[in-house]
């Protein structure tokens, strides 16, 4: 089975800045070519999941309702561009909360795989694309190939302090999709669409 996990801010949409959050639809801006990248993955038969930490909700910076409005806006635009995100899974806990869903922990990755009757032990052609060390650690913890994009929070200067390295480094999601599709041993035809969900 072909699966791609994506962080949101800095991968799909522009990173709002350190210590800041996307709290309104008008602050959500797609990174150039990210919608086309999602369409290409969809057409190639990939299950696409967004796995994102959104601690601003837990901190009271913005509401769960606002987060869901932003998610609906994102999914609508992705769908109109021909892409499909299978499910959006958020961790809204604060960094010091004891939860298993905040990256680099992989509770939400496990939920996503269970939703398609799959497991980490049988992940198949699976990638995790992110813009932080936490994303790369989550991908490694889940047994995925990891792709670090330079379009978000951290860059290669940050990586000098990391205790882990991604499998690949690319400029943005579009280039990540180039890489993923180049490695794809089983290209697929365009799939039918189903309604995406968020948790």
Q: What residues are annotated to the active site? A: 7, 9
Tokens standing for residue 165: 């390295």
Edge-to-edge strand list for the sheet holding 145-149: 168-170, 145-149, 125-130, 2-6, 47-53, 87-91, 197-198
Q: Which two tokens stand for residue 5?
A: 């996990």
| Nearest of 184, 19, 197 to residue 95 by alpha carbon | 19
**What length does the chain have?**
199
Phi, psi of 149 (to 5 degrees): -105, 145
């Amino acid at each position: 089975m072909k699966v791609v996990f994506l962080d949101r801010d800095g991968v799909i949409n522009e990173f709002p800045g350190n210590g800041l959050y996307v709290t309104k639809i008008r602050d959500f801006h797609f990174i150039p070519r990210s919608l086309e990248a999602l369409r290409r993955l969809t057409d190639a038969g990939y299950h696409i999941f967004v796995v994102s930490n959104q601690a601003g909700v837990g901190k009271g910076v913005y509401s769960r309702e606002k987060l869901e409005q932003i998610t609906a806006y994102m999914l609508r635009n992705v769908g109109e561009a021909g892409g499909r995100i299978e499910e959006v899974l958020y961790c809204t806990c604060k960094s010091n909360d004891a939860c298993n869903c905040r990256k680099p922990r992989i509770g939400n990755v496990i939920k996503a795989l269970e939703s398609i009757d799959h497991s980490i032990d049988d992940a198949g052609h699976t990638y995790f694309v992110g813009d932080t060390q936490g994303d790369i650690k989550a991908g490694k913890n889940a047994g995925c190939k990891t792709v670090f994009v330079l379009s978000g929070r951290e860059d290669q200067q940050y990586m000098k302090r990391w205790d882990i390295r991604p499998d690949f480094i690319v400029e943005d999601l579009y280039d990540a999709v180039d890489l993923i599709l180049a490695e794809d041993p089983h290209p697929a035809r365009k799939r039918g669409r189903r309604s995406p969900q968020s948790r």
